[in-house]
C-alpha cells in the first residue's frame, strides 16, 4: 500500500506554500508600516497643534525670586563629592599624572536596585 506522489504535485505544494508565506509577510509589513504612519501623524497632531495653541493662550507665569531651602541631600552630595575628589587626588599622586573630575552624575533609574536587572547585566557581561 505504498503511495507514489507525482513530483509536479510536490513542487506545486512547496511553491504555493512559499508564495502564501511571503505574501502574508508582505501584508504584515505593510500593515505595521501603515499603523506607524497613522500613530506618528496622531502624535504630531496632538502635540504640535494643541501645544502651540495652549502656549499662546496661557499667560507667562510669574517667577518668584525666593531662595529654595537647602535640603539635607545637598549637604550629603557635597560630602560625597569631596570624598570622590579626595580619592581621585590620591590616585593622581599614585599614578604620577594629573587626573580631573569632569562630571559627577547620580546613578538612578529602576534598574539600579532591581535584582532582575542586575542579574541580566551580570549574565550579559560575563566572560565566555
Q: Which pLDDT score, from 0 to 100, does residue 29 have?
A: 97
For residues 112 and 74, give the distance between their C-alpha atoms in angstroms, rounded to a whole number: 21
Model pLDDT for residues 105-118, shown as the tens digit of each residue: 776 655 566 888 88
User: Which position has the higher pLDDT, 20 or 89?
Assistant: 20
For residues 73 and 67, give the distance between their C-alpha atoms in angstroms, rounded to a whole number: 16
- Say what percent of the chain tops pLDDT 70: 68
Cell of 33: 508600516
Query: For residue 96, is it left (φ>0), alpha (ψ between -120 and 50) or beta?
Result: left
Asked whether 67 and 47 are in contact (CB, 8 A), the reply is no
The pTM score is 0.34
User: Which position has the higher pLDDT, 20 or 2?
Assistant: 20
Own/partner long-range contacts of 100-105 (Cβ < 8 Å, ≥24 apart): 104/80
Residue with cell 501623524: 41
- Whether the predicted pLDDT of 88 surpasses 80: yes
Model pLDDT for residues 35-83, shown as the tens digit of each residue: 999 999 998 877 655 444 444 444 544 544 444 444 455 556 788 888 8
- Say what percent of the chain tops pLDDT 90: 25
Amino acid at each position: 500500500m505504498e503511495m507514489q506522489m507525482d513530483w509536479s504535485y510536490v513542487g506545486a505544494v512547496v511553491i504555493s506554500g512559499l508564495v502564501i508565506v511571503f505574501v502574508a509577510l508582505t501584508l504584515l509589513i505593510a500593515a505595521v508600516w501603515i499603523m506607524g504612519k497613522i500613530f506618528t501623524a496622531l502624535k504630531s497632531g496632538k502635540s504640535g497643534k494643541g501645544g502651540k495653541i495652549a502656549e499662546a493662550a496661557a499667560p507667562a507665569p510669574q517667577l518668584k525670586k525666593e531662595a529654595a531651602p537647602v535640603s539635607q541631600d545637598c549637604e550629603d552630595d557635597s560630602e560625597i563629592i569631596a570624598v570622590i575628589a579626595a580619592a581621585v587626588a590620591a590616585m593622581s599622586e599614585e599614578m604620577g599624572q594629573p587626573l580631573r573630575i569632569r562630571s559627577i552624575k547620580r546613578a538612578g533609574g529602576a534598574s539600579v536596585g532591581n535584582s532582575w536587572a542586575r542579574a541580566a547585566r551580570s549574565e550579559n557581561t560575563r566572560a565566555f
